[in-house]
Amino acid sequence: MAQPCHPRTFRLGITVIITSGVVRPLDGGVTGVATVDFINQFKVDYAVLSTHGVEGDGSLLDYDYKEVSVMQAMMANARVRFLGVDHSKFQSHALVRLGDITDFDRVFTDRAPDGEMQKILTAAGVEWLVPDICQHATETAKDEK
């Protein structure tokens, strides 16, 4: 039987709530109607998500419709929504629509989005951030070429 939490967690007084649903053997993700129903019972401060692809118009896409329904429930029940995507996601496509990049409060990425995407984010009031360590790594890689 899998152990969802290390015993040390309980000694620290941390309560862990585990969603119901179907566990995917590939990556341990929990999906399905029971998971969405469970999430819909809560209102949380933050949802931190990622996705497979971001199209030029800001559409967010993924491959697994069950996972997308869970992510949509998380977005709908969060006061603040963060999206984390590396630069490769801006050139990637998938079939299932999650939502729009402008549905998020902040976007974290490893490189600045292209000019058009910056315009979309700015017009919607979405802050985009590139951590200093990512900027430094990108500059170092350019210098080495």
pLDDT digits (tens, 9 = 90+) for 28-81: 888 999 999 999 999 999 999 999 999 999 999 999 999 999 999 999 999 999
- Buried-exposed string 67-104: b where 16+ CB fall within 10 A, e elsewhere: bbbbbbbbbeebeebbbbbebebbeeebebebbbbebb
| pLDDT band at residue 1 using 50, 70 and 90 as cut-offs | very low
pLDDT digits (tens, 9 = 90+) for 96-135: 999 999 999 999 999 999 999 999 999 999 999 998 876 6
